Amino acid sequence: MSGPLSSSPAAGAFSRRSLLLGTLAGAAALASGCTSEPGGTADAVTPAQVDRLAAQVQVQEALVAAYDRALATGPELAAAATGLAGQARAQLDRLRAAAPGATSSAPPATGTPASTTSTTTTTTDAPPDAAGAREWLRTRVTGAADAHAAACPAFTGGRAALLGSISAGLRGQAGALA
Amino acid sequence: MPDAPSSAPSPTAAEDVALQSALAAAHTAVWGYAVVGAALPLEQREPVTAARQAHRDLRDQLTGLLTSRGVEPVGAEGGYALPFPVLSAVDAAVLAVTLEDGTSSAWAWVLDQATEVGTRELGVAALTAAELRAVGWRTAADRTPVTTPFPGLPAS
């Protein structure tokens, strides 16, 4: 079953290239979280968006800190989740790049989308012990995913795509930690 | 004298184009999962059935949404070509990963192009569901890592 399933050369050839690239006309711009608006005007970040994105940076900073704490509880979890921690850091880096000036490490401010979930990590939170660290971490990952998903619809353009993608990626992490 | 018809583009024109891509990806996934299922033993087909139904549901939702906007929804292609031979359970899992990664790319583009809040909410949900399925299939395909930090977006 290696050839085309249709005898028509005009049939939509399904290939990894066509499927993945056909929907990514703006792939390069998406990578940076900065694209053009649908109408063609620049997707300039507004002060309000900077504030909201700063809150999501703080959520991600707290998650990265949670990974550090959880991985320090024992070698078993460290072996299983070091790669996930690296992905969380990569997400933080890209969020920061999309949120110029958003570098605070303070907990999310009350009233922002980041604080709408009770499971979002704060900087004073800590895993109970090695036995409970995995579930503790999974709960924090889920909380961060919830926060990014809740914030996403308030953004436009590449920043909406970035937040939605990070949220989805964290859901996958939570599944891997289950 | 009646006003001339407006030539202004629809405010959702760019979003609609992206939704058409997501619909095309759904058509492809519905077809592709039939291939995935055929390559797996009966006792391993439950996630295939669930995934295929999820893509059918998305397809129907997108078709309804576009139709409600007066946009002709894209249909399924008359045929598709496999990107590689699917001869084993691992091949089937890799094909499923390809289908879900393509779906994620389509929905990330929808998020980028969306003008409606409701569309972005739909986009987050669809992108998340695709990544969760992809994690399962990457595991089945023995791929590492099984997670990706930026589903639907380029790696860098």
**pLDDT tens track of chain A, all 178 residues?**
332 222 223 333 344 444 433 333 333 334 434 344 433 444 667 778 888 999 999 999 999 999 999 999 989 999 999 999 999 999 999 999 998 766 555 544 333 344 344 444 455 578 888 789 999 999 999 999 999 999 999 999 999 999 999 999 999 999 999 9
CATH number, domain with residue A52: 1.20.1260
Q: Is residue A78 part of a domain?
A: yes
Interface list for A 129-158 with B (CB within 8 A): 145, 149, 152-158
Q: Is residue B109 part of a domain?
A: yes
Q: Enter the tokens of residue B134.
A: 């992809």
**Residues A11-30 as b or e (16 or more Cβ within 10 Å = b):** ebbbbbebbbebbbebbebb
Reported as a single tens digit per residue, the pLDDT across B14-30 is: 999 999 999 999 999 99
- pLDDT value of position A51: 86
Q: Is residue B79 part of a domain?
A: no
Please determine, for the modelled complex, whether the ipTM score is greater than 0.85. yes
- Point out the residue among B31, B105, B147 whose CB comes nearest to the CB of A172: B147
Query: How many domains, in total, are found in chain B?
Result: 1
Domain coverage including residue B54: 13-70+85-140
Q: In terms of Cα–Cα distance, which of B123, B122, B121, B92 is closest to B106?
A: B123
Reported as a single tens digit per residue, the pLDDT across A2-31 is: 322 222 233 333 444 444 333 333 333 344
Q: Is residue B152 part of a domain?
A: no
Give Cβ neighbours of residue B9 (< 8 Å, ≥ 6 apart). none
CATH number, domain with residue B64: 1.20.1260.10
Cβ distance B147 to A162 less than 8 Å, yes or no, reads no
Question: For testing the chain B interface, which of A1, A52, A148, A166 should be mutated: the one with the most B CBs within 10 Å?
Answer: A1
Q: Is residue A73 part of a domain?
A: yes
Q: Is residue A149 part of a domain?
A: yes
Q: Is B40 exposed, middle or buried (0-12, 13-18, 19+ CB in 10 A)?
A: buried
A14 touching B (Cβ < 8 Å): yes
B121 touching A (Cβ < 8 Å): yes
Q: Which amino acid is at B146?
A: V
Cβ distance B147 to A149 less than 8 Å, yes or no, reads no
Q: In terms of Cα–Cα distance, which of B54, B132, B9 is closest to A177?
A: B132
- pLDDT value of position A103: 54
Reported as a single tens digit per residue, the pLDDT across B33-71 is: 999 999 999 999 999 999 999 999 999 999 999 999 999
- pLDDT value of position A40: 40
- pLDDT value of position A46: 77
Q: Is residue B147 part of a domain?
A: no
Q: Is residue A102 part of a domain?
A: yes
Q: Is residue A24 part of a domain?
A: no
Q: In terms of Cα–Cα distance, which of B73, B43, B34, B77 is closest to A19?
A: B77
Cβ distance A35 to B28 less than 8 Å, yes or no, reads no
Query: How many domains, in total, are found in chain A?
Result: 1
The CA distance from B32 to B14, in Å, is: 27
Q: Is residue A16 part of a domain?
A: no
The CA distance from A114 to A95, in Å, is: 14
Domain coverage including residue A109: 43-177
Helix (H) or strand (E) holding B113, with range, is: helix B89-113
Q: Is residue A110 part of a domain?
A: yes
- The count of C-alpha atoms lying within 13 angstroms of the C-alpha of A177, restricted to the half-sphere facing its C-beta, is 27
Q: Is residue A84 part of a domain?
A: yes
